[in-house]
Structure 1
Amino acid sequence: MSLTKSLVRVALATALLLLIPLVAMQYTTEVNWTPSDFVFGGVVLFGAGFTFVLIARMGNNGTYRLGAGVAVLAGLLLVWANAAVGLVGSNDNPANLLYGAVLGVAVIGGVVTRFQPRGLSNAMFAAALTYLVVTAIAMFVWPPAPGTEEPSAYFVNVLVANGVFAALWAVAGLLFRRASNTDASSTPRLA
């Protein structure tokens, strides 16, 4: 499929996804998006789809494309959750800015390794580790203010939610590792 067709599909999928909150706003006051929310959502969703299209084109097997999908999904969820409610405390907590390092590690790792499966695998594992380190730093440097949340619930919630996000990066790493092993076993060997 051509790049233009792929981008048209991404744009249509973005528009369809943005229809969900638009329709929900007609039936409930629980959903209250502003025009800037729709712009942000459109940019993030289209950006994630565009990124997936570009990275998936670099792989030659389904495992590589699945790894690209999981990695892009992890990045999309990181940005969306951080912007919506924050990953540590509220979205006003300055610790949430540290999570940009996770995206930085993933993107820089991909570029440096030229999006080769083995290199992407290492970059995704590094992103997962960065995620865990950022979470630990954020929890201990910026703990919740006394009386705002129950400390035990706060730590459990933060650990579980961030553990799931870190696991997504690790799963992407495993998929890219498997894709690199598939590529290595399918190449003809000279005796």
Structure 2
Amino acid sequence: MAGILEQDTLRGRGVRRLVWGGAAALLLLPWVAMQFTDEVDWDAADFIAMGVMLLAVGMAYEIAARIARGNAYVLAAGIATGACFLTVWANLAVGILGNEGNPANALFFGVVAVAVAGSLGVLFRAGAMAWVMVATAAAQLAVCLYAWLAGLGHVFVFTGVMCAAWLAAAWLFHYAARRVA
């Protein structure tokens, strides 16, 4: 495992094409589905929102690829970005607590804000990013507990999966920082 993490293979032209091509394919997928079924009914606002989200993912990859000195950092950034993306996507699409109209769902945007603001605040430095990811996992857990204790609903499985993602990213950022030191 250490050998794979220390390699520098996730920053090449092929990976960049995969990231941006995958984003374009994901954006086109609902349009294609709309040609065959009435179950998918996106309007311009839906495509714009998804386009902005996919652009953010692509830009996160570009930043990680420029900063990284090995696969560990890029993988950590990918996991963290994926967790942010899934949180926002699920929240906008169907809502994490109840439906998308439930105001309690705004709490989960706060978790993403911890990750984004923390990352910007530490200027994406690997060692500090590890702590940002731990703080984000703590925020995720706090939101879950608050929602449960306030009677807003419970999302224990979602919280467990997301905390695992944040902590995996933390471990990889820590590994990347140790490699540089």
TM-score range (shorter-chain normalised) is: 0.7 to 0.9
Deviation of the 1:142 alpha carbon? 4.4
Letter in 2 for 1:72: T
The residue aligned with 2:107 is 98
| Contact 2:126/2:174 (<8 A) preserved | yes
Distance 2:160 2:22 in 1: 29
Letter in 1 for 2:164: A
Q: Within the alignment, does 1:45 sit opposite 2:25 as a pair?
A: no
Out of 161, 166, 169, the position equivalent to 1:164 is 161
Letter in 1 for 2:171: L
Q: Within the alignment, does 1:125 sit opposite 2:122 as a pair?
A: no
Q: Within the alignment, does 1:176 sit opposite 2:176 as a pair?
A: no
Distance 1:132 1:56 in 2: 29
- Structure 2 unaligned spans of 5+: 1-10
* The 10-residue stretch of structure 1 (18-27 or 124-133) with the greater mean CA deviation from structure 2: 18-27
The residue aligned with 1:61 is 70
Query: Alignment partner of 2:136: what SS?
Result: helix
Query: Alignment partner of 1:143: what SS?
Result: coil
Distance 2:103 2:165 in 1: 23
Distance 2:79 2:25 in 1: 21
| Contact 1:109/1:123 (<8 A) preserved | yes
Letter in 1 for 2:82: L
Letter in 1 for 2:127: R
Deviation of the 1:56 alpha carbon? 2.9
The 5 Å alignment of 1:129-140 reads: 129-140=138-149
Letter in 2 for 1:66: L
Letter in 2 for 1:170: L
How large is the RMSD of aligned CA atoms in angstroms?
2.1
Letter in 1 for 2:159: N
Counting matched residue pairs gives: 169
| Contact 1:117/1:180 (<8 A) preserved | yes
Deviation of the 1:122 alpha carbon? 0.4
* The 10-residue stretch of structure 1 (50-59 or 62-71) with the greater mean CA deviation from structure 2: 50-59
| TM-score (norm. length: structure 1) | 0.80
Deviation of the 1:91 alpha carbon? 1.2
The residue aligned with 1:83 is 92
Query: Alignment partner of 1:57: what SS?
Result: helix
Distance 1:181 1:75 in 2: 25
Deviation of the 1:90 alpha carbon? 1.3
| TM-score (norm. length: structure 2) | 0.84
Q: Which has the larger radius of gyration?
A: 1
Listed one character per residue, the Cα deviations across residues 107-151 of structure 1 (whole Å, up to 9, x for unaligned) are 22222222111100000010011011011112222425xxxxxxx
